[in-house]
Amino acid sequence: MANQPNKTIKRAKQKRVVESGRIYISATFNNTLVTITDEAGATLVVSSCGMHGFTGTRKSTPYAGTVTTEAALDKAKEVHNLRKLDIYVKGIGPGREASLRAIRGSNLEIGKIVDVTPIPHNGVRPPKLRRV
């Protein structure tokens, strides 16, 4: 019993076929994050600029957003057979428009484009008045 090797059982990932899904683009000033989910919200593909070799200030460029979005879409198409997308965009970074251009050029059927950028209704409390 002491000399038995540890047996680890690896399960093969199931290749789920998802015809329609959602793509969430979070475009900040420093990075662009792309998440592709199915209709229920279960994550299929995640991609960010840092995963594709961009570091530092190059992550915050429109080209990095384009490469990130195209890589995520290619993986979703070949692994999960994705055909239809609803797009949810959040943030005002430079990768925002570039990501949308990459999606339009990818021969996928686009259902709707929604801007889900959070907007404060009242903001934070102002600082107290300065007395001199």
Q: Which homologous superfamily is 20-109 in?
A: Ribosomal protein S11/S14 (3.30.420.80)
How many whole angstroms separate alpha carbon 22 and alpha carbon 32?
Answer: 16
What value does the mean pLDDT take over residues 19-41? 94
What mean pLDDT comes out for the span 29-42?
94
**pTM confidence score:** 0.81
- For the chain, which residues make up each domain, given as ranges? 20-109
Instruction: Please check the confidence at residue 9 and state whether its pLDDT lies above 80.
Output: no
* Sheet bearing 109-115, strands edge to edge: 43-48, 32-38, 20-27, 84-90, 109-115
